[in-house]
Amino acid sequence: MNEANSILKAFVWLIPFLPMFGTLLIAIGFISGKNRGEAGEQQTTLIANGTAMLSLLIVLAVDLHAVIIGIPGHLQLAQWFSSGDYQVNLSFNLDAFALVMMTLVAVISVLMIRFSVNYMHREAGYQRFFMIMNLFMGAMLLIVMAGNVVLTFTGWELAGVSSYLLIAYVYDRPVAAQNATRVFITNRIG
């Protein structure tokens, strides 16, 4: 059982960070000119779908672990900093509610990314859209899994920025830009 928890601890951090890594790969490919235009759509699709699906598979493996061995509970990954008796740890909360929400977020995100491939074909901002979608997926998973305020705040900020960018995707339409600004301000003020 202890070995299963160490294996879980080794892979669980990949759940929110694989989609974020996909964001980084798409951005690097776009900046370097390797996946621009219609020719780069296949590479972008492979990265976006691949990282999202891998994340979903790890979520399903954690769900299977919860069914067979038991719910993992609070999982401490590392210590961020400490000062005297006070310490802030980077940890994930993997209780029953978090597992259900992780599965829901991962399944819906994979379906959205898969559907968007056909819908966004030949759009000017194809790579930008999938870069932001993967960032949004990673941020939502980070919010759901966070075991402390530091990770919750990080996920919340990333979700706020990526939702702003998704709403303002068609930035040449004034309504989209206004709505994105309204959402961004609402996320900041409350």
Strand pairing class (86-94; 73-83)? antiparallel
CA 40 from centroid of its chain's CA atoms:
22
pLDDT digits (tens, 9 = 90+) for 36-77: 877 889 999 999 999 999 999 999 999 999 999 988 888 888
**87 inside domain:** yes
- Other Cβ atoms less than 10 A from the Cβ of 171: the count is 12
Structure tokens at 128: 């930008």
User: What does residue 175 show for φ and ψ, rounded to 5 degrees?
Assistant: -65, -40
- Other Cβ atoms less than 10 A from the Cβ of 111: the count is 12
Number of domains in the chain: 1
Domain that holds residue 124: 2-151
User: What does residue 163 show for φ and ψ, rounded to 5 degrees?
Assistant: -70, -40
120 vs 50: which has the higher pLDDT: 50
**141 inside domain:** yes
- pTM here? 0.91
